[in-house]
Amino acid sequence: METKAQENRREIDDYLQYIKSVRLLSERTVTAYACDLAKLGTFLKERDMGVYEVVFEDARRFSAFLLGHYHAPASINRTLAAVRNFYLHAFRTGHCASNPFSRINGTPRGRRLPSVLSKEEVQLVIGQPYVDFPTFRDIMMFNLFYSTGCRLSELLAIGLQDIDRPEMRILVHGKGSRERYVFLTPKTARMLDGYLPKREAWQLAHGVKNPSDRQALMLNLHGKRLSASSVHSIFRKYQLKLGIQKRFTPHVFRHSFATHMLDNDSGIRIVQELLGHASISTTQIYSHVSNERLRRVYERSHPHGRKEK
């Protein structure tokens, strides 16, 4: 006979299979749901409760449980959204009489402006010299991040078949299985022309046979597809080497790409398309960054704009 914890696990697994096979959510999204619903499973196991025994008061206790164990508002809100969706599905399929989380709100969270590199700081990074294939690969990667505004996962997934060199663009596979083209600056396109033969030679030297690795644009030291953890290590290495005091990550490059585009009078809708945002509201954070920079320049430059001390 199943314990309540085992029954809960089965019901959650069934839901994860549903969102994967019926709603066709991506592997990454399904994994995120699994992590969030595991927190619900832990909460219920500690109280020996069945997943469909939960009522509104239990939902409130779960929110308090999250506040006591997970401090980041974004993490708490994401978990509550996942659990709310789980119970909405349970209500629609007749497993429970109502959604106990329908009146549970997330924790308030202030919207923090993203960290952005200056154009001079970007130029310092992308203009670094390279002496061998690994350093060439590093600088190629930095240039691609800044030229395209790609997410880390998108850049690592780029295959040789995605590159449209005559049009100076690359097809990337974004969130929610959405595809879009991103574009190469002339400098990055020329750099890519030099990188591709060296990339091919590097793989041949390491005898790489796997078809997926053979198509990968970004390679590790063994000629295989570069991993996210390796990219973070590369960023950390150059941050220390160049003495960069700001946050320095692939996403900071993405922030910098968007902000510099807006600084140069690109419309926000264009930036939305280039970043692959489904909603314009996600992109509007960058207009706030751009406006904040304008305000600082005004206060620094206008003779009557300086704040009184």
Name the active-site residue from 151, 225, 255, 260.
151
For 48-185, where are the alpha helices, taking DSSP H only?
A: 56-69, 73-92, 119-126, 133-148, 152-157
Helix%, strand%, coil% for the chain, nearest 5? 65, 5, 30
Place of tokens 């954070």: 285
pLDDT number for residue 279: 73
CB 42 within 8 A of CB 8: no
pTM for this predicted structure: 0.62
Name the active-site residue from 45, 175, 180, 247.
175
Query: Is the pLDDT score of 295 beyond 90?
Result: no
Domains and CATH numbers, the chain: 4-92 (1.10.150.130), 119-301 (1.10.443.10)
Query: Is the pLDDT score of 307 beyond 60?
Result: no
**Amino acid letter for position 206:** H
Place of tokens 């140069």: 264
Average pLDDT value over all residues in the chain: 87
pLDDT number for residue 286: 66
Distances (CA, A) of 193 to 68, 143, 200: 53, 13, 12
Q: Provide mean pLDDT across the span 40-62.
A: 92
Query: From the centroid of its chain, how far is CA 170?
Result: 19
For residues 213 and 221, give the distance between their C-alpha atoms in angstroms, rounded to a whole number: 12
Both structure tokens of 74: 């974004």
Q: Is 277 a catalytic residue?
A: yes
pLDDT number for residue 267: 75
pLDDT number for residue 239: 95
Q: What are phi and psi of 159, to 5 degrees?
A: -110, 165
Name the active-site residue from 251, 269, 295, 296.
251
For residues 47 and 252, give the distance between their C-alpha atoms in angstroms, rounded to a whole number: 42
Q: Is 232 a catalytic residue?
A: no
Q: Is 300 a catalytic residue?
A: no
For residues 80 and 216, give the distance between their C-alpha atoms in angstroms, rounded to a whole number: 37
Both structure tokens of 222: 């063994």
Q: Is 33 a catalytic residue?
A: no
